[in-house]
Amino acid sequence: MPVGNEQGERMRKFKNRGKDVAAMRRQRVEVNIELRKAKKDEQILKRRSISITPLEENSACQEKKEIIQLSLEEIVEAVNGSNTELQLQATQATRRMLSRQRDPPLSQIIELGIIPRLVEFLTRADNAPLQFEAAWALTNIASGTSDHTRAVVEGGAIPAFVSLLSSPHMHISEQSVWALGNIAGDGPLYRDALINCNVIPPLLALVSPVTPVGFLRNITWTLSNLCRNKNPYPPLDAVKKMLPVLICLIQHEDKEIISDSCWALSYLTDGSNDRIQIVVDTGILPRLVELMADTELIVLTPALRAIGNVVTGTDDQTQAAIDAGVLAVLPCLLRHTKPTIQKEAAWALSNIAAGPCRQIQQLITCGLLPPLVELLEKGDFKAQKEAVWAVANFTTGGTVEQVVELVQSGVLKPLLNLLSAKDSKTILVILDTIANLFLAAEKLGETERLCLLVEELDGLEKIEALQTHDNNMVYRAALSIIEKYFAGEESTDLQPGSDQDGQLDFSVEKQDFNF
Amino acid sequence: VRIVTCTNILKLLLFLQRVLLLVASDVDALCACKILQALFQCDHVQYTLVPVSGWQELETAFLEHKDQFKYFVLINCGANVDLLEILQPEEDVLFFVCDSHRPINVVNVYNETQIKLLVKQDDDLDVPAYDDIFRDEEDEDDDSENESDGSEPSEKRRRFEEDVIERTMRRRQKREWEARRREILFDYEQYEYHGTSSAMVMFDLAWIMSKDLNDMLWWAIVGLTDQWVQDKITQMKYVTDIGILQRHVSRHNHRNEDEENSLSIDCMRIAFEYDLRLALYQHWSLYESLCNTSYTSACLKLWSVQGQKRLQEFLADMGLPLKQVKQKFNSMDISLKENLREMIEESANKFGMKDLRVQTFSIHFGFKNKFLASDIVYATTSLMENIEKEGPETDNFIKALDSLSRSNLDKLHQGLDLAKKQLRAIQQTVASCICTNLVISQGPFLYCSLMEGTPDVKLFSKPVSLCLLSKYLLKSFVCSTKNKRCKLLPLVMAAPMDVEQGTVIMVGIPPETESSDKKNFFGRAFEKAAESTNSRTLHNHFDMSIIELKTEDRSKFLDALISLLS
């Protein structure tokens, strides 16, 4: 049966967190970023309707007269020479070029072939300025594309940076943290290369009550990169080493540190159930839920993401999130002004609704139905789609009584309205949901009432219209509902004593369940 | 600075499907509107005309029509505020702004996508350079942008040159830049003044496209004359523009001169004149005109007994019998009229009126009707601010607009009658203000307030009439006072506006000096004074130097204005 298949696919997508969810989510995030960028470019274009001679930054150059300008040839010569004074000048000149705002010459510097020398300078414990300049230059090269990062790694920078973490000079160890963060951020391969080089113990050792905030931010970000990426996930023992420190950092008062810690936890929970379990076991869920209520997006977004990941887990893991109070903060987030937040919150809710009926009951008790209906009515379309899933899951796993309550909360009208959506996937889910509602109505002998209700809300018209839909599955699902419940007067006349009528007699509680 | 390519804009305008015309209530705007209507008509452009007397009406009209229209033409309104800011239009809405109000708001100048300014190429706008007042957002949102919106942290990050030092330096530079920007904008926006008449700009566009007609030329002349009558432009600017129009006049009316005898009844001919600056004298009596023209009335000090005596002496000097002078000009002896202008000028020189003759233009409709450009201005203004009939404001506007067509001579004559009443009312009010010492020095400016119950006070609740009154009063006051310091002061004038709502209308005008640049600083000053006292004011007029305020707030508002300008 097509309906059954649909359902199975949906369940797989939600409870079992196939790759689809992750892929879908990532895709959504990327689209957002692109849109924002496009909008910003547009604004700039708009402002720049007048042609202006490009502003050259001559003034900036003139102001710093002490800066020595070196040609690329001079740099190569000095770096490869033996005069330490010239080495420092050349390295500094290189670093300056690499840290200017516009068009840093990453590839040109790599082509000079001086990376192995710069890596060698990292080991000059007697010459801290040289170490620092080289570390900064290499950091910036590693901040480029994968090719750029590879050039730094293949120059032997990983062990050199790892040992510099323990440098007695704080600015040098901080610069090394930054460089290692760039290397870890390149992907799982270099991330694991760093872990195998034993980067974690010296990195964690830098976290102390006296570490300056700026430094801690760098460390947290690098840690988050060490937790980041799948295929494969970071090694379990590495995760277990980092977690206690992350749990500690997430209690910090600095928003950026909290944010990056949350992101780290969101990466760690974006995996199989046993990965989620490790995070749940730390007892951090209440803190994450608390952060979901933060007013600042940089905090609330990753906290919501992490909790959203947790509720994709087992019923027990979902229960842990419920126990941590997630249902109390979700209403606010469903009504958040930012569409992406609405959407993520609805996604989390849909996964809770996919749970056993006792969790569905908690969802009702905590007052999630009104904001859900509101979202269906006037939320952002992507959020509406997630809300549709939440309703669908609810009708699949909820008891008849719970389904009645859902209908009584006014879900039917916005749900039927969404049948005019362009997206056939969403339409199918809604039709499934309607079929589920009729199943419940049948059990109560309230089919006719539901029919009437659907008709009153112009739902019948919409379902009938879908019989001409291009999508075959939509067409069949619509047809099936029409045939089953809206077959018309003649069929009713032909079957006067169907078991519908019979059940109606049995239904004692009919009055209580007023659809 | 960006220069608008006029031809392209006009071509674009004529190519548009449906256009909404928003036209301010001044004669120059009406004339520009007439020219544009004629252009639209011959190119079959559909348009809707909505008169707007102030910002509130402009906003309402825009809101009402923004769903049906994408193209808006604004005449003598809109240039001096940030239109996009106050109207919040959709991105595909286009504004064509033809407005003599200066300074033009800088955003309007630099937003080429939605705002098309119609400006004469040789108008000196003195707009600040783009880089001095706008800065790319890019420079500003250096570090926080990505993080604050909750997106995922970047995978890699580059460390920039001396983050901390650089950032503080950049911040300092930004602060300096902002201070400079404020200074530049202050200098730019401090004074309000007027650029080339909108009717002339519109005519220029028509001419560039070879679509100009003699009627359009006449409207351009009336538009310019309106600026002169309302004292909006300098004498120099007036003479220069007269010269420009004179070339067009001889081009258009050259042919007719040979065939003067064949002039038919519906024929029109425009001629350059070096005529008397006596208001409406050819449609009045010479005597009435002398009494009710600001220039002669002020120079002869007609509000005093000595002044009246001087007038008699002046008339005697010319050798004109009083009976002739007091009867309708049309009925005066032809022999007297022949050398009238020269005679009057000669005597006027003796009485210290050296500028009684001015360069202007006249129009002949057929044989009978001849008008000076200023006649039309006075008549149209009076129709526009007619207070005799209650009814929707737009009636007056449409009547005034119609009176500009040569087929509506009856409306024009009606306007002339109203204009005479208006000029008389102004002169009487000026005389009573001066005789009862209502003009008082407040230190930095002169102040005069009309009481409720003053005769004709209702007329002066209208902005153009009030402005004319203020200007005539200041001229007369300067002639009447012996206090040298007072002669150099600007004037603030207030009149009751709406008795039920308890509001007054207030206008500020620049000092009356010979070399006056006609620049007005009261717009800004009013704004500041209202802000600092929390006065309930309304800057509804397109001229920022006209303000409406609650009567109870007047004294604290004035106190603030005095201390602001001291």
Q: Which of B90, B94, B130, B161 to mutate to test the interface with A (most CBs of A within 10 A)?
A: B161
Residues 119-148 of chain A whose Cβ lies under 8 A from any Cβ of chain B: 136, 139-140, 142-144
Mean pLDDT for all residues in chain A: 83
β-partners of residue B94 are B71
Q: What is the pLDDT of residue A495?
A: 40
pLDDT in tens, A198-219: 999 999 999 999 999 999 999 9
CA-based torsion, B406, B408, B413, B416: positive or negative: negative
Q: Which of B91, B131, B140, B158 to mutate to test the interface with A (most CBs of A within 10 A)?
A: B158
Looking at beta carbons, which residues of chain B come within 8 Å of A101?
160-161
Instruction: Please judge whether A182 and B156 are an interchain contact, meaning their C-beta atoms are less than 8 angstroms apart.
Output: yes
Average pLDDT over residues A459-486: 90
Q: What is the pLDDT of residue A492?
A: 42
Average pLDDT over residues B381-410: 88
Average pLDDT over residues A264-292: 96
Percent of chain B beyond pLDDT 70? 91
Residue A252, min C-alpha distance to chain B (Å):
18
Cβ atoms of B412 and B403 closer than 8 Å:
yes
Cβ atoms of B92 and B114 closer than 8 Å:
no
Instruction: Please judge whether B159 and A136 are an interchain contact, meaning their C-beta atoms are less than 8 angstroms apart.
Output: yes
- Does B186 reach chain A within 8 Å, measured CB to CB? no
In whole angstroms, what is the distance from residue A498 CA to residue A504 CA? 10
Cis peptide before B103 (omega within 30 of 0): yes
**Left (φ > 0), alpha (ψ -120 to 50) or beta: where does B474 sit?**
alpha
- Does A230 reach chain B within 8 Å, measured CB to CB? no
List alpha helices for A228-338, DSSP H.
236-249, 255-269, 273-281, 285-292, 297-310, 315-323, 326-334
Q: What is the pLDDT of residue B201?
A: 93
In whole angstroms, what is the distance from residue A495 CA to residue A101 CA? 79
Tell me how far the alpha carbon of residue A216 is from its chain's centroid.
23
Q: Which of B329, B201, B341, B218 is nearest to B271 (CA)?
A: B218
Candidates B112, B150, B153; nearest CB to A50: B112
Residue B95, min C-alpha distance to chain A (Å):
16
Residue B542, min C-alpha distance to chain A (Å):
26
Q: What is the pLDDT of residue B160?
A: 81
Integer angstrom CA distances of residue B547 from A212, B82, B541, B554: 58, 19, 7, 11
pLDDT in tens, B446-456: 999 999 988 89
Instruction: Please judge whether A50 and B110 are an interchain contact, meaning their C-beta atoms are less than 8 angstroms apart.
Output: yes
Q: What is the pLDDT of residue B513?
A: 82
Using CA coordinates, name the residue in chain A closest to B153: A260
- For residue A468, what is the DSSP state? G
**Helix orientation angle between A115-122 and A72-80, rounded to the nearest 10 degrees:** 50
Residue ranges of domains in chain A: 325-487
DSSP string, B109-139: HH-TTTEEE---TT----PPPHHHH---HHH
Tell me how far the alpha carbon of residue B237 is from its chain's centroid.
14
Candidates B131, B153, B162; nearest CB to A224: B153
State the virtual CA torsion across A93, A98, A100, A103 in degrees, nearest 10: 130
In whole angstroms, what is the distance from residue B559 CA to residue B566 CA? 11
Integer angstrom CA distances of residue B81 from B24, B140, B202, B267: 15, 26, 21, 43
DSSP string, A7-47: HHHHHHHHTS--HHHHHHHHHHHHHHHHHHHHHHHHHHHHH
pLDDT in tens, A5-25: 444 443 433 333 333 333 333
- Does B481 reach chain A within 8 Å, measured CB to CB? no
In whole angstroms, what is the distance from residue B516 CA to residue B510 CA? 8
Candidates A100, A142, A263; nearest CB to B161: A100
Q: Which of B75, B48, B53, B31 is nearest to B379 (CA)?
A: B31
Token duo for residue A161: 């940076």
Q: Which of A306, A345, A309 is nearest to A328 (CA)?
A: A345
Residue A395, min C-alpha distance to chain B (Å):
33
Percent of chain A beyond pLDDT 90? 74
- Does A105 reach chain B within 8 Å, measured CB to CB? no
In whole angstroms, what is the distance from residue A109 CA to residue B437 CA? 85
Q: What is the pLDDT of residue A59?
A: 34
Token duo for residue B215: 């009627």
Looking at beta carbons, which residues of chain A come within 8 Å of B162?
99
Cβ atoms of A446 and A513 closer than 8 Å:
yes
pLDDT category of residue A423 using cuts at 50, 70 and 90: confident
Cβ atoms of A354 and A14 closer than 8 Å:
yes
Instruction: Please judge whether B156 and A49 are an interchain contact, meaning their C-beta atoms are less than 8 angstroms apart.
Output: no
Instruction: Please judge whether B148 and A298 are an interchain contact, meaning their C-beta atoms are less than 8 angstroms apart.
Output: yes
Looking at beta carbons, which residues of chain A come within 8 Å of B134?
47
pLDDT in tens, B240-255: 999 999 999 998 887 5
pLDDT category of residue A141 using cuts at 50, 70 and 90: very high
Mean pLDDT for all residues in chain B: 88
- H/E element, B422: helix B409-435
- Does A44 reach chain B within 8 Å, measured CB to CB? yes
pTM, rounded to two decimals: 0.58
In whole angstroms, what is the distance from residue B156 CA to residue A106 CA? 14
Looking at beta carbons, which residues of chain B come within 8 Å of A100?
160-161
pLDDT in tens, B4-41: 445 566 666 666 668 999 999 999 999 999 999 998 88
Looking at beta carbons, which residues of chain A come within 8 Å of B130?
50, 52
CATH topology assigned to domain A325-487: Leucine-rich Repeat Variant (1.25.10)
Instruction: Please judge whether B134 and A47 are an interchain contact, meaning their C-beta atoms are less than 8 angstroms apart.
Output: yes
- Does A459 reach chain B within 8 Å, measured CB to CB? no
Looking at beta carbons, which residues of chain B come within 8 Å of A33?
151
Q: What is the pLDDT of residue B186?
A: 92
**Amino acid in position B220:** A
**Left (φ > 0), alpha (ψ -120 to 50) or beta: where does B439 sit?**
beta
Task: Give the residue, B362 or B517, on which the prediction is more confident.
Answer: B362
Instruction: Please judge whether B138 and A139 are an interchain contact, meaning their C-beta atoms are less than 8 angstroms apart.
Output: no
Cβ atoms of A300 and A292 closer than 8 Å:
yes
Cβ atoms of A104 and A138 closer than 8 Å:
no
In whole angstroms, what is the distance from residue B118 CA to residue B305 CA? 51
DSSP string, B97-111: EE--EESPPHHHHH-
- Does B2 reach chain A within 8 Å, measured CB to CB? yes
- Does B485 reach chain A within 8 Å, measured CB to CB? no
pLDDT in tens, B456-513: 999 999 999 999 999 999 999 999 999 889 889 999 999 999 989 999 999 999 998 8
Q: Which of A338, A406, A326 is nearest to A369 (CA)?
A: A406
Domains of chain B: 438-565 (3.10.310)
B29: which residues sit within 8 A by CB, 6+ positions away?
B23, B75, B76, B77, B198
Beta-strand (E) ranges in B31-100? 46-52, 71-75, 94-98
State whether residue B369 is helix, strand or coil: strand
Candidates B113, B150, B152; nearest CB to A49: B113
Q: What is the pLDDT of residue B517?
A: 86
The angle formed by the CA atoms of residues A368, A19 and A297, to the nearest 5 degrees, is 45
Instruction: Please judge whether B130 and A52 are an interchain contact, meaning their C-beta atoms are less than 8 angstroms apart.
Output: yes
- Does A210 reach chain B within 8 Å, measured CB to CB? no
Candidates B111, B150, B156; nearest CB to A297: B150
